[in-house]
Amino acid sequence: MGNPFASEVALVMDGERRVLKLTLGALAELEAAMGADTLVDLVSRFEAGSFSTRDVMKLIVAGLRGGGWQGASSDLLSVEIKGGPMAAARAAALLLARAFMLPEGQDGV
């Protein structure tokens, strides 16, 4: 598990534990990849359970980039994710939630 106080999420890919984090730069890259959609649209889709596999992939890529990964989204097309697509979707949702939620008792200042 990643450090929730640092908005991190862990995901095991091809047997290697990776730390994902949505930094400001990763969020900007995510917005650019989404085109006309906004982050509010993305959050709404996840809250409603109507997200797509593209949404999951974009979030995973952005989180990996925020965690220091230098790969391309095409590198993930053949990656084996421990727990499969459901684990990827859970990680993406948790990543999104942690990016915009302060831990209890924290005021961000």
Read off the pLDDT of residues 55-97 as tens digits, 9 standing for 90 and up. Answer: 899 899 999 999 999 988 899 999 999 999 999 999 999 998 8
- The residue ranges of every structural domain in the chain are 4-99
Per the CB < 8 A criterion, the answer to whether 2 and 82 are in contact is: no
Per the CB < 8 A criterion, the answer to whether 57 and 76 are in contact is: yes
Reply yes or no on whether the pLDDT at 106 is more than 70: no
End-to-end CA distance of the chain, in Å? Answer: 25
pLDDT range class, residue 109, cuts 50, 70, 90: very low
Per the CB < 8 A criterion, the answer to whether 62 and 99 are in contact is: no
Read off the pLDDT of residues 12-36 as tens digits, 9 standing for 90 and up. Answer: 999 999 999 998 888 888 888 877 6
Q: In this predicted structure, what is the pLDDT of residue 10?
A: 93
- pTM of model > 0.85: no
